[in-house]
Structure 1
Amino acid sequence: MSEAFYTDKARVRASFEKAAASYDGAAVLQREVSDRMDERLGVIRHTPLTVLDAGSGTGYGAAALRARYPDARVVELDIAHAMLAASRGKQSAARSLVGRLFSRARPWQVCADVEALPLADASVDMVWSNLAIQWLNEPDKVFAEFRRVLKPDGLLMFSTLGPDTLSELRAAFAGQDAATHVNRFLDMHDLGDALSRAGFAQPVMDMEKIVLTYAQMRDVLRDLKAIGAHNSTAGRSAGLTGKHFWRRVEAAYDAQRKEGVLPATYEVVYGHAWRAAPLPGRLADGRQVIEFVRPARTAS
Protein backbone atom coordinates (compact mmCIF):
# COMPACT_ATOMS: atom_id res chain seq x y z
CA MET A 1 0.00 0.00 0.00
CA SER A 2 1.50 3.34 -1.00
CA GLU A 3 1.77 6.21 1.44
CA ALA A 4 -0.85 8.16 -0.53
CA PHE A 5 -3.44 5.73 0.86
CA TYR A 6 -2.22 5.89 4.46
CA THR A 7 -4.73 7.39 6.86
CA ASP A 8 -4.06 10.54 8.84
CA LYS A 9 -4.71 9.52 12.44
CA ALA A 10 -5.30 13.08 13.65
CA ARG A 11 -7.98 13.48 11.00
CA VAL A 12 -9.54 10.15 11.95
CA ARG A 13 -9.74 11.26 15.59
CA ALA A 14 -11.24 14.64 14.67
CA SER A 15 -13.83 13.00 12.40
CA PHE A 16 -15.04 10.65 15.12
CA GLU A 17 -15.12 13.44 17.70
CA LYS A 18 -17.49 15.38 15.42
CA ALA A 19 -19.58 12.34 14.53
CA ALA A 20 -20.41 11.18 18.06
CA ALA A 21 -23.80 12.88 18.14
CA SER A 22 -24.93 11.49 14.76
CA TYR A 23 -23.19 8.11 14.92
CA ASP A 24 -25.99 5.93 16.32
CA GLY A 25 -28.46 7.16 13.71
CA ALA A 26 -26.29 5.96 10.82
CA ALA A 27 -24.25 3.04 12.23
CA VAL A 28 -26.44 0.31 10.72
CA LEU A 29 -23.49 -1.72 9.45
CA GLN A 30 -21.55 -1.38 12.70
CA ARG A 31 -24.46 -2.71 14.76
CA GLU A 32 -25.12 -5.58 12.34
CA VAL A 33 -21.48 -6.68 12.35
CA SER A 34 -21.35 -6.39 16.15
CA ASP A 35 -24.40 -8.67 16.40
CA ARG A 36 -22.79 -11.21 14.08
CA MET A 37 -19.59 -11.15 16.12
CA ASP A 38 -21.62 -11.69 19.29
CA GLU A 39 -23.26 -14.74 17.72
CA ARG A 40 -19.81 -16.20 17.04
CA LEU A 41 -18.92 -15.87 20.70
CA GLY A 42 -21.75 -18.28 21.43
CA VAL A 43 -19.74 -21.18 19.98
CA ILE A 44 -16.39 -20.26 21.54
CA ARG A 45 -15.67 -21.71 24.97
CA HIS A 46 -14.21 -18.77 26.85
CA THR A 47 -15.34 -17.00 30.02
CA PRO A 48 -13.32 -13.79 30.40
CA LEU A 49 -13.23 -11.74 33.59
CA THR A 50 -11.74 -8.66 31.90
CA VAL A 51 -12.65 -7.65 28.33
CA LEU A 52 -11.15 -4.79 26.32
CA ASP A 53 -13.45 -3.30 23.67
CA ALA A 54 -10.84 -1.68 21.42
CA GLY A 55 -12.51 1.03 19.35
CA SER A 56 -15.72 0.95 21.36
CA GLY A 57 -17.50 3.89 19.72
CA THR A 58 -20.75 4.78 21.46
CA GLY A 59 -20.87 1.53 23.43
CA TYR A 60 -23.14 -0.79 21.43
CA GLY A 61 -20.70 -3.70 21.45
CA ALA A 62 -19.71 -3.11 25.07
CA ALA A 63 -23.36 -3.42 26.11
CA ALA A 64 -23.60 -6.80 24.34
CA LEU A 65 -20.38 -7.95 26.01
CA ARG A 66 -21.69 -6.99 29.46
CA ALA A 67 -24.89 -8.91 28.75
CA ARG A 68 -22.98 -12.02 27.63
CA TYR A 69 -20.42 -11.85 30.44
CA PRO A 70 -22.26 -10.32 33.42
CA ASP A 71 -19.39 -11.05 35.81
CA ALA A 72 -16.74 -9.47 33.58
CA ARG A 73 -15.26 -5.99 33.68
CA VAL A 74 -15.66 -4.50 30.19
CA VAL A 75 -13.21 -1.70 29.42
CA GLU A 76 -14.30 0.64 26.62
CA LEU A 77 -11.39 2.20 24.74
CA ASP A 78 -11.72 4.72 21.91
CA ILE A 79 -9.55 7.37 20.29
CA ALA A 80 -12.42 9.89 20.42
CA HIS A 81 -13.45 11.23 23.83
CA ALA A 82 -16.87 12.28 22.47
CA MET A 83 -17.67 8.67 21.56
CA LEU A 84 -16.94 7.53 25.11
CA ALA A 85 -19.04 10.42 26.48
CA ALA A 86 -21.96 9.33 24.29
CA SER A 87 -21.71 5.79 25.67
CA ARG A 88 -21.48 7.10 29.21
CA GLY A 89 -24.57 9.23 28.64
CA LYS A 90 -26.61 6.29 27.41
CA GLN A 91 -25.63 4.16 30.37
CA SER A 92 -26.33 6.96 32.80
CA ALA A 93 -29.84 7.23 31.37
CA ALA A 94 -30.29 3.46 31.70
CA ARG A 95 -29.13 3.52 35.33
CA SER A 96 -31.64 6.24 36.14
CA LEU A 97 -34.41 3.93 34.88
CA VAL A 98 -33.49 0.80 36.79
CA GLY A 99 -31.70 2.28 39.78
CA ARG A 100 -29.14 0.48 41.87
CA LEU A 101 -29.62 -2.90 40.20
CA PHE A 102 -27.85 -1.49 37.16
CA SER A 103 -24.94 0.03 39.04
CA ARG A 104 -22.57 -2.88 38.22
CA ALA A 105 -22.78 -1.97 34.53
CA ARG A 106 -21.11 1.41 35.05
CA PRO A 107 -18.52 1.59 32.26
CA TRP A 108 -14.77 1.52 32.60
CA GLN A 109 -13.47 3.84 29.90
CA VAL A 110 -10.09 4.84 28.45
CA CYS A 111 -9.48 7.43 25.72
CA ALA A 112 -6.42 6.14 23.87
CA ASP A 113 -4.91 4.90 20.63
CA VAL A 114 -5.18 1.13 20.01
CA GLU A 115 -1.59 1.17 18.71
CA ALA A 116 -0.36 2.37 22.12
CA LEU A 117 -2.61 0.77 24.74
CA PRO A 118 -2.18 2.26 28.24
CA LEU A 119 -2.74 -1.17 29.81
CA ALA A 120 -0.40 -3.50 31.64
CA ASP A 121 1.05 -6.61 30.05
CA ALA A 122 -1.18 -9.69 30.37
CA SER A 123 -4.00 -7.68 31.97
CA VAL A 124 -7.10 -8.74 29.99
CA ASP A 125 -8.69 -12.08 29.13
CA MET A 126 -10.23 -10.98 25.85
CA VAL A 127 -9.80 -8.23 23.25
CA TRP A 128 -12.85 -7.42 21.12
CA SER A 129 -12.58 -4.92 18.27
CA ASN A 130 -15.46 -4.21 15.91
CA LEU A 131 -14.73 -2.27 12.70
CA ALA A 132 -11.92 -0.19 14.17
CA ILE A 133 -8.53 -1.42 12.98
CA GLN A 134 -9.26 -0.55 9.33
CA TRP A 135 -8.30 3.02 10.24
CA LEU A 136 -4.71 1.92 10.92
CA ASN A 137 -2.05 1.69 8.24
CA GLU A 138 -0.11 -1.37 9.40
CA PRO A 139 -1.68 -4.22 11.39
CA ASP A 140 1.54 -5.51 12.96
CA LYS A 141 1.75 -2.83 15.63
CA VAL A 142 -1.85 -3.12 16.80
CA PHE A 143 -1.75 -6.94 16.84
CA ALA A 144 1.46 -6.78 18.86
CA GLU A 145 -0.30 -4.49 21.35
CA PHE A 146 -3.34 -6.76 21.53
CA ARG A 147 -1.10 -9.75 22.24
CA ARG A 148 0.88 -7.81 24.85
CA VAL A 149 -2.18 -6.97 26.96
CA LEU A 150 -3.78 -10.41 26.62
CA LYS A 151 -3.19 -13.02 29.28
CA PRO A 152 -1.95 -16.45 28.20
CA ASP A 153 -4.87 -18.34 26.62
CA GLY A 154 -6.61 -15.00 26.05
CA LEU A 155 -8.87 -14.50 23.02
CA LEU A 156 -8.70 -11.83 20.31
CA MET A 157 -11.85 -11.35 18.23
CA PHE A 158 -12.10 -8.58 15.65
CA SER A 159 -13.79 -7.39 12.50
CA THR A 160 -12.49 -4.97 9.93
CA LEU A 161 -13.05 -3.93 6.31
CA GLY A 162 -11.46 -5.52 3.26
CA PRO A 163 -10.30 -3.99 -0.03
CA ASP A 164 -13.63 -4.39 -1.90
CA THR A 165 -15.35 -2.05 0.56
CA LEU A 166 -17.13 0.86 -1.18
CA SER A 167 -15.97 -0.47 -4.55
CA GLU A 168 -18.84 1.35 -6.29
CA LEU A 169 -17.87 4.70 -4.78
CA ARG A 170 -14.21 4.10 -5.61
CA ALA A 171 -15.12 3.28 -9.21
CA ALA A 172 -17.13 6.49 -9.49
CA PHE A 173 -14.11 8.56 -8.44
CA ALA A 174 -11.65 6.60 -10.60
CA GLY A 175 -10.00 8.69 -13.28
CA GLN A 176 -11.61 11.94 -12.17
CA ASP A 177 -8.37 13.35 -10.72
CA ALA A 178 -5.10 12.20 -9.17
CA ALA A 179 -6.26 12.47 -5.54
CA THR A 180 -7.47 9.62 -3.33
CA HIS A 181 -11.13 9.86 -2.36
CA VAL A 182 -11.91 6.55 -0.66
CA ASN A 183 -9.94 4.84 2.10
CA ARG A 184 -8.14 1.63 1.16
CA PHE A 185 -8.21 -1.48 3.34
CA LEU A 186 -6.00 -4.54 3.80
CA ASP A 187 -6.67 -7.99 2.37
CA MET A 188 -7.85 -10.79 4.69
CA HIS A 189 -4.77 -12.88 3.95
CA ASP A 190 -2.44 -10.02 4.87
CA LEU A 191 -4.25 -9.70 8.19
CA GLY A 192 -3.92 -13.43 8.84
CA ASP A 193 -0.19 -13.25 8.12
CA ALA A 194 0.13 -10.31 10.51
CA LEU A 195 -1.60 -12.31 13.26
CA SER A 196 0.94 -15.09 12.83
CA ARG A 197 3.85 -12.64 12.86
CA ALA A 198 2.52 -11.18 16.11
CA GLY A 199 2.65 -14.63 17.72
CA PHE A 200 -1.07 -15.47 17.83
CA ALA A 201 -2.08 -19.12 17.72
CA GLN A 202 -4.89 -20.82 15.78
CA PRO A 203 -5.88 -17.77 13.71
CA VAL A 204 -9.24 -18.12 11.93
CA MET A 205 -10.19 -15.66 9.19
CA ASP A 206 -13.30 -15.38 7.05
CA MET A 207 -15.12 -12.77 5.02
CA GLU A 208 -18.59 -11.81 3.82
CA LYS A 209 -20.01 -8.96 1.79
CA ILE A 210 -22.85 -6.82 3.09
CA VAL A 211 -24.58 -4.49 0.62
CA LEU A 212 -26.46 -1.40 1.78
CA THR A 213 -28.70 0.38 -0.73
CA TYR A 214 -29.39 4.06 -1.24
CA ALA A 215 -31.53 6.30 -3.42
CA GLN A 216 -28.77 8.79 -4.26
CA MET A 217 -25.00 9.08 -3.96
CA ARG A 218 -25.42 12.00 -1.55
CA ASP A 219 -27.17 9.60 0.85
CA VAL A 220 -24.09 7.33 0.86
CA LEU A 221 -21.83 10.29 1.62
CA ARG A 222 -24.21 11.56 4.30
CA ASP A 223 -24.09 8.25 6.18
CA LEU A 224 -20.31 8.06 5.90
CA LYS A 225 -20.05 11.55 7.35
CA ALA A 226 -22.53 10.73 10.13
CA ILE A 227 -20.37 7.84 11.39
CA GLY A 228 -17.11 9.77 11.01
CA ALA A 229 -15.87 7.72 8.04
CA HIS A 230 -14.44 10.64 6.09
CA ASN A 231 -11.71 10.28 3.51
CA SER A 232 -8.68 10.36 5.80
CA THR A 233 -6.00 9.35 3.29
CA ALA A 234 -2.75 11.26 3.02
CA GLY A 235 -3.32 11.63 -0.72
CA ARG A 236 -6.73 13.31 -0.44
CA SER A 237 -7.33 16.54 -2.32
CA ALA A 238 -6.17 19.63 -0.42
CA GLY A 239 -8.55 21.95 -2.24
CA LEU A 240 -12.24 22.19 -3.01
CA THR A 241 -13.81 20.29 -5.89
CA GLY A 242 -16.27 22.04 -8.18
CA LYS A 243 -19.80 21.29 -9.32
CA HIS A 244 -18.69 19.79 -12.61
CA PHE A 245 -16.44 17.33 -10.76
CA TRP A 246 -19.27 16.14 -8.53
CA ARG A 247 -21.67 15.85 -11.47
CA ARG A 248 -19.22 13.52 -13.22
CA VAL A 249 -18.78 11.43 -10.07
CA GLU A 250 -22.54 11.21 -9.44
CA ALA A 251 -23.13 10.17 -13.06
CA ALA A 252 -20.49 7.44 -12.76
CA TYR A 253 -22.06 6.15 -9.54
CA ASP A 254 -25.57 6.32 -10.98
CA ALA A 255 -24.46 4.10 -13.85
CA GLN A 256 -24.07 1.33 -11.24
CA ARG A 257 -27.70 1.56 -10.16
CA LYS A 258 -29.40 -1.84 -9.79
CA GLU A 259 -33.17 -2.34 -9.53
CA GLY A 260 -33.62 1.35 -8.90
CA VAL A 261 -31.16 1.70 -6.01
CA LEU A 262 -27.46 2.40 -5.61
CA PRO A 263 -25.41 -0.35 -3.92
CA ALA A 264 -22.71 0.34 -1.33
CA THR A 265 -20.75 -2.86 -0.76
CA TYR A 266 -18.82 -3.55 2.42
CA GLU A 267 -16.34 -6.42 2.54
CA VAL A 268 -16.39 -7.42 6.20
CA VAL A 269 -13.44 -9.46 7.44
CA TYR A 270 -13.71 -11.43 10.69
CA GLY A 271 -10.84 -12.89 12.65
CA HIS A 272 -10.13 -14.54 15.96
CA ALA A 273 -7.01 -16.04 17.48
CA TRP A 274 -5.52 -16.96 20.85
CA ARG A 275 -2.54 -15.83 22.81
CA ALA A 276 -1.16 -19.26 23.53
CA ALA A 277 0.37 -20.02 26.90
CA PRO A 278 4.19 -20.24 26.64
CA LEU A 279 5.58 -23.70 26.03
CA PRO A 280 7.68 -25.30 28.75
CA GLY A 281 11.19 -23.91 28.58
CA ARG A 282 10.11 -20.73 26.77
CA LEU A 283 9.36 -17.18 27.86
CA ALA A 284 6.00 -15.50 27.21
CA ASP A 285 7.40 -13.85 24.04
CA GLY A 286 8.44 -17.24 22.63
CA ARG A 287 12.16 -17.06 23.34
CA GLN A 288 13.69 -20.32 24.48
CA VAL A 289 15.21 -20.59 27.93
CA ILE A 290 18.60 -22.30 27.90
CA GLU A 291 20.13 -23.16 31.21
CA PHE A 292 23.91 -23.20 31.45
CA VAL A 293 25.18 -25.47 34.20
CA ARG A 294 28.72 -25.08 35.43
CA PRO A 295 30.46 -28.46 35.38
CA ALA A 296 31.21 -29.84 38.82
CA ARG A 297 34.87 -29.75 39.78
CA THR A 298 36.61 -33.05 40.27
CA ALA A 299 39.33 -33.65 42.80
CA SER A 300 42.82 -33.81 41.32
Structure 2
Amino acid sequence: MSALPLATPASSSAAPADDWRTRVARAFSRAAPRYAERAVAQRIMAEPLLSRLPARAERVLDLGCGPGEMAASLARHFGRGCTVSGLDLAPGMLEVARRTHGDTARWLCGDAAALPLGDASQDLVVSNLAIQWCPDLDAVMAELHRVLRPGGRALVNTLAPGTLAEVGRAWSRPDQPAGLLSFRDAAHHRQAAQGAGFCRLDCRERALRFHYPDLAAVMASIKGIGAQPSRPGGRLTRADVARAARRYETQREPEGLPVTYRLLTLELHA
Protein backbone atom coordinates (compact mmCIF):
# COMPACT_ATOMS: atom_id res chain seq x y z
CA MET A 1 0.00 0.00 0.00
CA SER A 2 3.02 2.31 0.04
CA ALA A 3 2.36 3.54 -3.49
CA LEU A 4 -0.65 5.67 -2.50
CA PRO A 5 -2.24 8.25 -2.48
CA LEU A 6 -2.31 8.33 -6.23
CA ALA A 7 -1.34 10.62 -9.06
CA THR A 8 -0.87 10.01 -12.74
CA PRO A 9 2.40 10.65 -14.55
CA ALA A 10 0.42 12.84 -16.92
CA SER A 11 -0.40 15.11 -13.98
CA SER A 12 3.26 15.38 -13.03
CA SER A 13 4.47 17.35 -16.05
CA ALA A 14 6.88 19.37 -13.92
CA ALA A 15 9.05 16.28 -13.44
CA PRO A 16 11.95 15.86 -15.90
CA ALA A 17 11.10 13.50 -18.75
CA ASP A 18 13.90 11.06 -17.93
CA ASP A 19 12.78 10.90 -14.29
CA TRP A 20 9.20 10.21 -15.37
CA ARG A 21 10.29 7.42 -17.72
CA THR A 22 12.45 5.84 -15.03
CA ARG A 23 9.71 5.91 -12.40
CA VAL A 24 7.05 4.50 -14.72
CA ALA A 25 9.36 1.77 -16.06
CA ARG A 26 10.28 0.73 -12.52
CA ALA A 27 6.68 0.75 -11.31
CA PHE A 28 5.46 -1.43 -14.16
CA SER A 29 8.48 -3.72 -13.98
CA ARG A 30 7.73 -4.33 -10.28
CA ALA A 31 4.11 -5.07 -11.15
CA ALA A 32 4.98 -7.39 -14.04
CA PRO A 33 5.10 -10.78 -12.25
CA ARG A 34 1.49 -10.50 -11.01
CA TYR A 35 0.11 -8.12 -13.63
CA ALA A 36 -1.83 -10.69 -15.66
CA GLU A 37 -3.72 -12.09 -12.66
CA ARG A 38 -4.65 -8.59 -11.44
CA ALA A 39 -5.62 -7.15 -14.83
CA VAL A 40 -9.18 -8.51 -15.03
CA ALA A 41 -10.67 -5.03 -15.54
CA GLN A 42 -8.05 -4.24 -18.17
CA ARG A 43 -8.95 -7.35 -20.16
CA ILE A 44 -12.64 -6.47 -20.06
CA MET A 45 -11.87 -2.93 -21.23
CA ALA A 46 -9.83 -4.33 -24.15
CA GLU A 47 -12.94 -5.92 -25.68
CA PRO A 48 -14.05 -2.77 -27.62
CA LEU A 49 -10.65 -2.72 -29.33
CA LEU A 50 -10.66 -6.40 -30.25
CA SER A 51 -14.18 -6.10 -31.67
CA ARG A 52 -12.93 -3.46 -34.14
CA LEU A 53 -9.95 -5.35 -35.55
CA PRO A 54 -9.76 -5.53 -39.35
CA ALA A 55 -9.78 -8.93 -41.01
CA ARG A 56 -6.23 -8.53 -42.33
CA ALA A 57 -3.03 -6.71 -41.37
CA GLU A 58 0.60 -7.52 -42.08
CA ARG A 59 2.36 -5.24 -39.59
CA VAL A 60 0.80 -4.55 -36.20
CA LEU A 61 2.05 -2.70 -33.12
CA ASP A 62 0.73 -3.34 -29.60
CA LEU A 63 1.65 -0.08 -27.88
CA GLY A 64 2.08 -0.56 -24.12
CA CYS A 65 1.98 -4.34 -24.48
CA GLY A 66 2.62 -5.16 -20.81
CA PRO A 67 3.14 -8.93 -20.33
CA GLY A 68 2.15 -9.60 -23.94
CA GLU A 69 -1.37 -11.03 -23.70
CA MET A 70 -2.88 -8.73 -26.33
CA ALA A 71 0.13 -9.00 -28.65
CA ALA A 72 -0.22 -12.78 -28.58
CA SER A 73 -3.96 -12.45 -29.24
CA LEU A 74 -3.26 -10.16 -32.20
CA ALA A 75 -0.77 -12.67 -33.62
CA ARG A 76 -3.40 -15.42 -33.41
CA HIS A 77 -6.04 -13.19 -34.98
CA PHE A 78 -3.99 -12.16 -38.01
CA GLY A 79 -2.09 -15.41 -38.49
CA ARG A 80 1.26 -16.35 -39.94
CA GLY A 81 1.47 -13.58 -42.52
CA CYS A 82 1.47 -10.86 -39.87
CA THR A 83 4.39 -9.45 -37.88
CA VAL A 84 3.29 -8.22 -34.46
CA SER A 85 5.50 -5.95 -32.38
CA GLY A 86 4.89 -5.53 -28.67
CA LEU A 87 6.35 -2.33 -27.25
CA ASP A 88 6.57 -1.33 -23.61
CA LEU A 89 8.56 1.14 -21.53
CA ALA A 90 9.11 -1.38 -18.73
CA PRO A 91 11.85 -4.00 -19.23
CA GLY A 92 10.24 -6.17 -16.56
CA MET A 93 7.02 -6.40 -18.55
CA LEU A 94 8.94 -7.42 -21.66
CA GLU A 95 10.81 -10.12 -19.72
CA VAL A 96 7.48 -11.65 -18.70
CA ALA A 97 6.19 -11.33 -22.29
CA ARG A 98 9.23 -13.12 -23.72
CA ARG A 99 9.07 -15.86 -21.09
CA THR A 100 5.32 -16.39 -21.55
CA HIS A 101 4.83 -15.88 -25.28
CA GLY A 102 8.28 -16.48 -26.78
CA ASP A 103 8.70 -15.29 -30.35
CA THR A 104 4.98 -14.81 -30.95
CA ALA A 105 5.86 -11.11 -31.34
CA ARG A 106 8.89 -8.86 -31.59
CA TRP A 107 9.37 -7.39 -28.10
CA LEU A 108 10.63 -3.79 -28.10
CA CYS A 109 11.54 -1.51 -25.21
CA GLY A 110 10.63 2.06 -26.03
CA ASP A 111 8.67 5.23 -25.38
CA ALA A 112 5.32 5.97 -27.05
CA ALA A 113 6.55 9.49 -27.78
CA ALA A 114 9.65 8.21 -29.64
CA LEU A 115 8.75 4.91 -31.28
CA PRO A 116 11.70 2.82 -32.53
CA LEU A 117 9.91 2.10 -35.81
CA GLY A 118 10.21 3.40 -39.35
CA ASP A 119 7.90 5.86 -41.06
CA ALA A 120 4.74 4.29 -42.54
CA SER A 121 5.86 0.88 -41.26
CA GLN A 122 2.63 -0.30 -39.58
CA ASP A 123 -0.82 -1.20 -40.86
CA LEU A 124 -2.39 -1.10 -37.42
CA VAL A 125 -1.56 0.16 -33.93
CA VAL A 126 -3.53 -1.18 -30.95
CA SER A 127 -3.09 0.28 -27.47
CA ASN A 128 -5.05 -0.62 -24.34
CA LEU A 129 -4.74 1.69 -21.32
CA ALA A 130 -1.24 3.00 -21.95
CA ILE A 131 -1.22 6.53 -23.39
CA GLN A 132 -2.93 8.07 -20.35
CA TRP A 133 0.44 7.83 -18.59
CA CYS A 134 2.30 9.78 -21.30
CA PRO A 135 2.87 13.45 -20.38
CA ASP A 136 3.04 14.67 -24.01
CA LEU A 137 -0.10 13.51 -25.81
CA ASP A 138 0.72 15.60 -28.88
CA ALA A 139 4.03 13.76 -29.28
CA VAL A 140 2.33 10.37 -28.91
CA MET A 141 -0.27 11.22 -31.55
CA ALA A 142 2.43 12.51 -33.89
CA GLU A 143 4.35 9.23 -33.51
CA LEU A 144 1.23 7.14 -34.14
CA HIS A 145 0.59 9.09 -37.33
CA ARG A 146 4.24 8.81 -38.42
CA VAL A 147 4.50 5.03 -38.11
CA LEU A 148 1.13 4.25 -39.72
CA ARG A 149 1.01 3.76 -43.47
CA PRO A 150 -1.52 5.86 -45.43
CA GLY A 151 -4.87 4.21 -44.80
CA GLY A 152 -3.65 2.61 -41.58
CA ARG A 153 -5.54 2.75 -38.31
CA ALA A 154 -4.91 3.13 -34.60
CA LEU A 155 -7.30 1.61 -32.06
CA VAL A 156 -6.69 3.13 -28.65
CA ASN A 157 -8.23 2.79 -25.21
CA THR A 158 -7.37 5.48 -22.69
CA LEU A 159 -8.92 6.96 -19.55
CA ALA A 160 -10.97 10.13 -19.14
CA PRO A 161 -11.72 12.45 -16.19
CA GLY A 162 -13.85 10.78 -13.54
CA THR A 163 -11.79 7.59 -13.61
CA LEU A 164 -11.15 6.19 -10.10
CA ALA A 165 -13.22 8.97 -8.52
CA GLU A 166 -14.07 6.72 -5.57
CA VAL A 167 -10.39 6.02 -4.95
CA GLY A 168 -9.60 9.72 -5.03
CA ARG A 169 -12.31 10.47 -2.47
CA ALA A 170 -11.10 7.71 -0.15
CA TRP A 171 -7.47 8.90 -0.20
CA SER A 172 -8.01 12.66 -0.25
CA ARG A 173 -6.34 14.67 2.49
CA PRO A 174 -6.84 18.21 3.84
CA ASP A 175 -3.40 19.18 2.51
CA GLN A 176 -4.27 17.73 -0.92
CA PRO A 177 -7.74 19.08 -1.61
CA ALA A 178 -7.55 18.88 -5.40
CA GLY A 179 -8.26 15.72 -7.37
CA LEU A 180 -5.49 13.19 -6.90
CA LEU A 181 -5.99 11.69 -10.32
CA SER A 182 -5.85 13.66 -13.56
CA PHE A 183 -6.86 12.41 -16.99
CA ARG A 184 -7.37 14.19 -20.31
CA ASP A 185 -10.85 14.58 -21.80
CA ALA A 186 -12.17 13.63 -25.24
CA ALA A 187 -11.73 17.16 -26.60
CA HIS A 188 -8.04 17.08 -25.71
CA HIS A 189 -7.60 13.80 -27.61
CA ARG A 190 -9.49 15.12 -30.64
CA GLN A 191 -7.32 18.21 -30.76
CA ALA A 192 -4.09 16.19 -30.47
CA ALA A 193 -5.22 13.74 -33.19
CA GLN A 194 -6.16 16.53 -35.57
CA GLY A 195 -2.88 18.30 -34.91
CA ALA A 196 -0.98 15.12 -35.72
CA GLY A 197 -2.68 14.89 -39.11
CA PHE A 198 -5.23 12.10 -38.66
CA CYS A 199 -7.94 12.48 -41.29
CA ARG A 200 -10.71 10.90 -39.25
CA LEU A 201 -11.32 10.21 -35.56
CA ASP A 202 -14.10 8.26 -33.89
CA CYS A 203 -14.15 8.82 -30.12
CA ARG A 204 -16.55 7.05 -27.79
CA GLU A 205 -16.77 7.38 -24.01
CA ARG A 206 -18.45 5.09 -21.55
CA ALA A 207 -18.32 4.28 -17.86
CA LEU A 208 -17.41 0.81 -16.59
CA ARG A 209 -17.97 -0.04 -12.96
CA PHE A 210 -16.30 -2.85 -11.06
CA HIS A 211 -16.76 -3.98 -7.45
CA TYR A 212 -14.33 -5.41 -4.91
CA PRO A 213 -14.75 -6.84 -1.40
CA ASP A 214 -12.36 -4.50 0.43
CA LEU A 215 -9.76 -1.75 0.06
CA ALA A 216 -6.89 -4.20 -0.36
CA ALA A 217 -8.64 -5.78 -3.35
CA VAL A 218 -9.32 -2.34 -4.85
CA MET A 219 -5.67 -1.33 -4.56
CA ALA A 220 -4.44 -4.64 -6.01
CA SER A 221 -6.77 -4.19 -9.00
CA ILE A 222 -5.62 -0.68 -9.91
CA LYS A 223 -1.90 -1.43 -9.69
CA GLY A 224 -2.30 -2.87 -13.15
CA ILE A 225 -3.15 0.53 -14.64
CA GLY A 226 0.09 2.07 -13.35
CA ALA A 227 -0.97 4.50 -10.63
CA GLN A 228 2.03 6.35 -9.23
CA PRO A 229 2.85 7.95 -5.86
CA SER A 230 1.66 11.53 -5.59
CA ARG A 231 4.84 12.31 -3.66
CA PRO A 232 7.83 10.24 -4.82
CA GLY A 233 9.27 8.50 -1.81
CA GLY A 234 6.23 9.28 0.34
CA ARG A 235 5.06 6.62 2.78
CA LEU A 236 1.70 5.92 4.32
CA THR A 237 1.08 5.10 7.94
CA ARG A 238 -1.37 2.52 9.23
CA ALA A 239 -3.55 5.44 10.26
CA ASP A 240 -3.59 6.68 6.63
CA VAL A 241 -4.72 3.28 5.39
CA ALA A 242 -7.36 2.93 8.12
CA ARG A 243 -8.71 6.42 7.33
CA ALA A 244 -8.95 5.58 3.63
CA ALA A 245 -10.70 2.29 4.39
CA ARG A 246 -13.31 4.09 6.51
CA ARG A 247 -13.92 6.67 3.78
CA TYR A 248 -14.25 3.99 1.13
CA GLU A 249 -16.75 2.09 3.25
CA THR A 250 -19.13 5.07 3.03
CA GLN A 251 -19.25 4.44 -0.74
CA ARG A 252 -19.97 0.70 -0.47
CA GLU A 253 -22.75 -0.67 -2.69
CA PRO A 254 -24.55 -4.02 -2.40
CA GLU A 255 -22.06 -5.55 -4.86
CA GLY A 256 -19.01 -4.26 -2.96
CA LEU A 257 -16.66 -1.27 -3.08
CA PRO A 258 -17.08 0.47 -6.47
CA VAL A 259 -14.29 1.42 -8.88
CA THR A 260 -15.34 3.44 -11.91
CA TYR A 261 -13.35 3.82 -15.12
CA ARG A 262 -14.29 6.41 -17.75
CA LEU A 263 -13.10 4.66 -20.89
CA LEU A 264 -12.29 6.54 -24.10
CA THR A 265 -12.08 4.33 -27.19
CA LEU A 266 -10.43 6.07 -30.15
CA GLU A 267 -10.31 4.92 -33.76
CA LEU A 268 -7.81 7.02 -35.74
CA HIS A 269 -7.43 6.87 -39.51
CA ALA A 270 -4.16 7.94 -41.12
Partners of 1:128 and 1:241 in 2: how far apart? 36
Deviations 1:156-199 (A, max 9, x none): 11001111110001112234432878432111221112111111
Give the match for residue 144 of structure 1.
Answer: 142
Quickly say closer, same or farther: Cα 1:179–1:90, change in 2 above 3 A.
farther
SS in 2 for 1:142: helix
Does residue 18 (structure 1) correspond to residue 30 (structure 2)? The answer is yes
Q: How many residues align?
A: 256
2:227 to 219, 226, 230: 230
Partners of 1:35 and 1:59 in 2: how far apart? 16
> Moved runs in structure 1, 4+ residues, more than 3 A?
179-183
Computed over aligned residues only, the root mean square deviation of the Cα atoms, in angstroms, reads 2.3
Partners of 2:177 and 2:118 in 1: how far apart? 41
Deviates further, 197-206 or 245-254: 245-254
Which ranges in structure 1 are unaligned for 5 or more consecutive residues?
93-104, 276-300
Give the match for residue 58 of structure 2.
Answer: 49
The answer to whether the Cα contact below 8 Å between 1:62 and 1:76 also exists between their aligned partners in 2 is yes
Give the number of the structure with larger relative contact order, counting CA–CA contacts within 8 Å between residues 6 or more apart. 2
Give the match for residue 83 of structure 1.
Answer: 93
**Post-superposition shift, 1:218?**
1.9
The answer to whether the Cα contact below 8 Å between 2:193 and 2:201 also exists between their aligned partners in 1 is yes
Quickly say closer, same or farther: Cα 1:3–1:119, change in 2 above 3 A.
closer
The answer to whether the Cα contact below 8 Å between 2:10 and 2:183 also exists between their aligned partners in 1 is no
The answer to whether the Cα contact below 8 Å between 1:180 and 1:237 also exists between their aligned partners in 2 is no
Structure showing greater radius of gyration is 1
**Post-superposition shift, 1:80?**
1.1
Counterpart residue type for residue 86 of structure 1: V
SS in 1 for 2:190: helix
Give the fraction of aligned pairs with identical amino acids, expressed as a percent: 32
**Post-superposition shift, 1:224?**
2.6
TM-score by length of 2: 0.87
**Post-superposition shift, 1:271?**
0.2
**Post-superposition shift, 1:50?**
0.4
Give the match for residue 212 of structure 1.
Answer: 210
1:187 to 185, 188, 206: 185
Partners of 1:259 and 1:163 in 2: how far apart? 25
Which ranges in structure 2 are unaligned for 5 or more consecutive residues?
1-7, 14-19
